[in-house]
Structure 1
Amino acid sequence: AGDTTRFRSQQNLRGVRPWTAETPHLYQLDIVLMDSNSEIMETTRLEVGFRDIRIEDGAVKVNGKALLIKGTNRHEHHPETGHVIDRATMEADIQTLKAHNFNAVRTSHYPNDPYWYTLCSRYGLYVVDEANIESHGMGYALDRTLGNNPDWKHAHLVRTARMVARDRNHASILCWSLGNEAGNGVNFEATYAFVKATDPSRFVTYERAEQAPNTDVYVPMYADYMHLERFARQKEDLRPLIQCEYAHAMGNSLGGFKEYWDLYRRYPRLQGGFIWDFKDQGLWEEKDGRRYLTYGGDYGPKDTPSDHNFLNNGLVMADGTPHPHMLEAKQVQQPLQFQLGDQNGSKLRVDSEYRFRDVVVDLAWSILANGRVVDSGVLPAVKLRPNTSSALDIPVKPQGFGDAEAVFNLKATLTEAEPLLPAGHVLAQFQHILSAGHPSLPPAKRGRVNLKVDGGNVVLSFDGGTLTLDRNTGEVSGYRIGDRNLITGGARPNFWRPPVDNDYGTGSPEHRAEWRAPFDVPGPAKMTNDRKENGSMQLSFARPILGGDAVVTVQYNVNIEGTVTVTQKMQAIAGESDPDLAGRHHELEPGTHPNLYRFGQHWVLPANMKVAEWYGRGPMESAADRKEAAMLGQYTLPIAELATPYARPQYNGTRTDARWLRLHDGEGFGLEFQSHSAFDFTALNFSPEQLDSGPRKEERQSHFRLLDPTDEVHLDIDGASAGVACINSWGALPLPEYRLPYQAYDFEYVFRPLQP
């Protein structure tokens, strides 16, 4: 009793189909233990796969092919049972990952339930199996970290050894991770040596080793774009790079994700990474009959230490519902890349990023003119070979588009069902603008618009209605068509948004506080008016902001039909821009002004507005730096469905690059907004004040699902919007091209009444 015997057998097997995440071929291995009389004492059955993993030519290779890791970190989590999860949850998780073009997962930060590895091997995910070792709170200094304290060597070794012994027969395990954020030193040198001797068939990684010898791959966390490119170009360290954590998906995030993948696809030694992370770690609770997802600060007495909502950084909500940025990840990571060979849509190149498998797809294409389909077709059962380019002819009809915006759309769907994915599943999609549109408005009829100053109001009368403006501010206080008032308040210049989690990480709600209420100079706006030749009336309202350093002018041109052209301009007269301010330890220099969040206008519309129709990106929420998945088209949604229920309230629900927007009561009465250039809009039954947690979010424990929707609609029309970023959530700003520095801005749009 208690004896251990090692048995080793080696056989040569012919015709073996190798295992990869794309081709997860498994074989049944039966092990039978018999006694000396050949009586069966015990049997076990394993699903095993055969594959070759090695690092050569500066790349991680499986079966001789370099990988491109499209991964995420995953905690074991269920919104009702916490970190105790059942098989159904694991099965749902892997289905979600496969459906959104992921091919890898890191078991952050501990070995997972054994069934998870079975699923990954069976359905195809590369696994970074991570030892349950983390001592982040001790710091990384060699004289403090447990990783360099010999007294803790045994503890490090036994946890690592148990992981390898338990999990090494799973084909899906690509490599071993020695732990997470536990410093480095002699103990990790020992665990590295142990794993290399015990399982030479796989490589070993450890982030805190950085570029020390005890990691076979450089696996940084949250490396920015410049760091990645510098590593890819240098010649001293020729190891591959795979980010063990990147693209911190906290709240309204994942802005700039495409730019990461531009680098991964450009440099062979940059082999992708693992997004942080898969699922929000929230728990369902109920208050006043409403369910909501909790986060840090919801449990224990007041002042219980917590990281607030810092564990809500998932691609999916705690209940598994995908966030909008999960759709962005799916789009950017899709395994088929497309390129048009001409400007009429007849020549298409398809590049397959699959390394090992053929894929058979139906390619459904269409051409849209101003959002409406004018030509379409399907190329059925197109077979695409792995890691190759295919040239295809699309049978488009020759046609001119005039002033219309012409767009080529393509969807690649699975011709036949695959494990976890049904036939018709959208594997990839593509959109290309064939010709830019030149939208024009019909010429206004001639007719005199009357102007009347009535106390603090300016009233402009046109056929069938009136527009009322506040004399002191120049903002809209009413817009009546017949007996209906379509606007409660509007055209208020707005530079602020309810901060997203990444904004709080940079400290920008404090840095940019002057943009919350920039009209700090007393006195009414300077008003001018001008009668136009066709009888329309033009009014301008100029107001100083930021202590007089800038002037914002809002101009209205109202014609006899009630169409209103709105032009907003900001002139920067004095002061300098400080666009790179980030981190709470930074302060504004005298004479400087911080970035804006947006340059637009806020409106409040009456409660009868129920439906949004638009031509722009959709149907899901998008952002200035996160809109690859949101395709141009015409969409219709109830306004009540435009919000995204992030666990903590914040800026959400924006649709980008709109050409026009119609908001109405469902019967056709409402407003239409249109611009010569693309604009962003947000239309919600929540006020900005409800979504704003103030200068520091930790001071306000708020939950989106507990907010009371407003009857009225809060609308923002933005000529420019800042990005939401994703490098990290503790100091990184959006890329420069997605920031709005203090400078001159202007934009113009029209609104008009809608009637059945």
Structure 2
Amino acid sequence: MYEYAKGHDPTRLVHYEGDRKAETTDMSSYMYLELDNLEKKALAEGDNFTKPIILCEYAMALGNGPGAMQEYQERFYKFRRLQGGFVWEFSNLGLWMEDKGYFAYGGDFDDFPNDGTFTMDGLVNSAHTGGRGLVEMKKVVEPVKMTVDRGDILLHNLHDFHMLQGLSLNITVFTFNGRKDKTVFQCTIPCPLIQPMETATVTLPLFPTIPEDVLQCWITISLQLDDATAWAGKGHEIAWCQHLLSHRDWLGTPIMINNQPQVRESKAFYEIQCPNMFIRFDQIYGRMAEWKLHNRLVFTSAPTLAAWRPPTENDMKREAAIWSEHFLGNLQWRIISVLLQPAAANSVKITVVAYIGAVIRDWGFNASIEYTVYGDGTVEISYFLQPRGHYPKHLPRLGIDMTLPSHFSAVDWFGCGPEESYADKRNSQKVGLYSRTPDTLHTEYEFPQENGNRAGTRWLQVTDTHGNGFSVTRVNESGHKGDEFDFTAQHYTASDIEAARHPTDLKRRDEVFLRLDAAHAGLGTERCGPATLEKYRVLCKNTRFTFSFEPVSQED
């Protein structure tokens, strides 16, 4: 066939992935190579290689994914022999069932055998609306890379033949003070003409001096079309970058001089009272039994350690079975001791020592949990964990689960957004201050699975319609706030999502299920490709983390 093709049209390139040695093809072709193996093959013949390498499939876009596209793209740029690849694939291939109200896949037609959801592996949805994978890919393969170096913007034109022209740089400088953001400077300047594969430097315009009291100051630079084209409108964003211009330490909880928490003790409970805050702590179960702010309940299910997430389709090939075998979704507590004692000035501390173990499995965590309550109503929950026994090497996540009453309807955060993001799928989301509801934090996939996570969060606020509620920050070992964490807030439990086969199976609950994660695993492409990269995994190891909950009122 090769000889026939070349004899009839010698201008055509011949590709066949099955010819691993490229004896009769014009390129070396592979599917789903691991990054290390890809790099090894890229260097095998030095820079005098005979044939280029193309990934005829990579970055499988099944469900919530793909992860680690940035790492592949970096190697495509780095090694001349790597000519890129083809993401599998463009679109989900579900068939609309009018009477059911969902896009159907294998098995929905009483068909056997079938490939199940294996046709739902596209960057866009079955209706050809853009999925989260497409947004991530757009950022990863943007044709211009920009960075900020001191007072300059560096622009690198990655086109092989196209000169940059007809573009403008939209520049925004904004600050964040711990609760609000503020745009302090904005302008638009022309982008210079840049030849293919060349780099140009643009001097940043002068902007006002940043006040010392702001926690973070960011600059966002967006490269946009000056005029409409046949394929996009005026102002369409071609590429963007962000840079942290300045930041300062975010101090921990202030000591309230004249505000000592009031404590009452009985045989089974500790009761802690502060202005506009009340906690009843259960000594038997070693956790909060009741928590009120402004006389309204904060939770219907107390904050507790959690390591489970609904599996993604990439998890289902291997990791989900391991996590299930270790009963990560059913960790139970054995309380060893509960101790109330004074802490720093104007605060009290409850220390719980416990063994948190998997049901009928020989592994768990030796745990020490500290609840520190300050006079202003701030509560810090600290976990110190040491795994023991035959524990899993990796976890899907590690953090806190809690269930909130339905009146918590507003969610604001400073971090990556506005859409979902994960450790290895966050390039497309800009750092900023965003507002959503638990309904709109949910990402609907045609096959329901883990979704809606927001990575890189520095500050989170959950409030009711009256503006009352609480904010969340992560506190490091030095006592400073502002360390990154992940969160979700939805009207579905992990079990709801895991049991559903179609979006119509999900029944909205009134409560809000809040997840705060000190660590959350990436997505990878393991269903048909490499597993999640090690740097994006959550190791089961000695761990400590602290979350701070600060009361928020309408007057704040």
TM-score between the two structures when normalised by the length of structure 1:
0.68
Distance in 2 separating the partners of 1:662 and 1:636 = 9
Q: Quote the residue 2:57 is aligned against.
A: 245
Distance in 2 separating the partners of 1:554 and 1:433 = 34
Q: Quote the residue 1:684 is aligned against.
A: 490
Q: Quote the residue 1:356 is aligned against.
A: 161
Distance in 2 separating the partners of 1:208 and 1:627 = 34
Q: 1:556 to 1:497 in 2, by over 3 A?
A: same
Q: 1:501 to 1:244 in 2, by over 3 A?
A: same
2:539 counterpart of 1:745: no
1:366 deviates by 1.7
3-state DSSP of counterpart to 1:229: helix
Whose relative contact order is higher, 1 or 2, with alpha carbons under 8 Å and at least 6 apart? 2
Q: 1:554 to 1:295 in 2, by over 3 A?
A: farther
User: Residues 325-382 of structure 1, C-alpha deviation per residue, up to 9 Å, x if partnerless?
Assistant: 211100010000112221xxx2011011122222321111122222532222211354
- Contact 1:499/1:509 (8 A) holds in 2: no
1:415 deviates by 0.8
1:517 deviates by 4.5
How do residues 125-524 of structure 1 correspond to structure 2 at under 5 angstroms?
A: 191-235=1-45, 238-286=50-98, 291-300=101-110, 304-342=112-150, 346-359=151-164, 360-370=166-176, 371-380=181-190, 382-397=192-207, 399-400=209-210, 402=212, 404-441=215-252, 443-446=254-257, 447-453=259-265, 456-517=268-329, 519-520=331-332, 523-524=334-335
Distance in 2 separating the partners of 1:332 and 1:267 = 17
1:478 deviates by 2.7
Distance in 2 separating the partners of 1:227 and 1:750 = 43
1:483 deviates by 3.0
The aligned amino acid for 2:367 is: V
- Contact 1:512/1:595 (8 A) holds in 2: no
Distance in 2 separating the partners of 1:454 and 1:384 = 74
2:380 to 550, 565, 568: 565
3-state DSSP of counterpart to 2:218: strand
Distance in 2 separating the partners of 1:451 and 1:499 = 42
1:532 deviates by 2.6
Distance in 2 separating the partners of 1:197 and 1:438 = 70
Q: Quote the residue 2:478 is aligned against.
A: none
1:452 deviates by 3.6
The aligned amino acid for 2:473 is: Q
1:654 to 453, 465, 471: 453
Q: Radius of gyration: which is bigger?
A: 1
1:220 deviates by 0.8
1:619 to 418, 434, 458: 418
1:535 to 307, 323, 346: 346
Q: Quote the residue 2:515 is aligned against.
A: 716
Q: Quote the residue 2:367 is aligned against.
A: 552
Q: 1:731 to 1:248 in 2, by over 3 A?
A: closer
Q: Quote the residue 2:477 is aligned against.
A: none
Distance in 1 separating the partners of 2:210 and 2:182 = 15
- Contact 1:647/1:705 (8 A) holds in 2: no
Flag the structure with higher helix content. 1
Distance in 1 separating the partners of 2:266 and 2:106 = 53
- Contact 2:59/2:529 (8 A) holds in 1: no
1:705 deviates by 3.4
Distance in 2 separating the partners of 1:267 and 1:605 = 50
Q: 1:222 to 1:438 in 2, by over 3 A?
A: same
The aligned amino acid for 1:733 is: A
The aligned amino acid for 2:154 is: R
The aligned amino acid for 1:367 is: V
- Contact 1:606/1:711 (8 A) holds in 2: yes
Q: 1:666 to 1:241 in 2, by over 3 A?
A: farther
3-state DSSP of counterpart to 2:169: strand
3-state DSSP of counterpart to 1:327: helix
- Contact 2:140/2:427 (8 A) holds in 1: yes
Q: 1:438 to 1:250 in 2, by over 3 A?
A: same
The aligned amino acid for 2:371 is: Y
3-state DSSP of counterpart to 2:305: strand
Q: 1:630 to 1:456 in 2, by over 3 A?
A: farther
The aligned amino acid for 2:228 is: A
3-state DSSP of counterpart to 1:338: strand
- Contact 1:408/1:434 (8 A) holds in 2: yes
The aligned amino acid for 2:507 is: D
3-state DSSP of counterpart to 2:145: strand
Q: 1:692 to 1:453 in 2, by over 3 A?
A: farther
Q: 1:752 to 1:398 in 2, by over 3 A?
A: closer
3-state DSSP of counterpart to 1:427: strand
Q: 1:231 to 1:467 in 2, by over 3 A?
A: same
- Contact 2:276/2:295 (8 A) holds in 1: no
Question: Structure 2: where are the runs of 5+ without partners?
Answer: 475-480
User: Residues 646-689 of structure 1, C-alpha deviation per residue, up to 9 Å, x if partnerless?
Assistant: 12221110011111111122431222112221111011111111
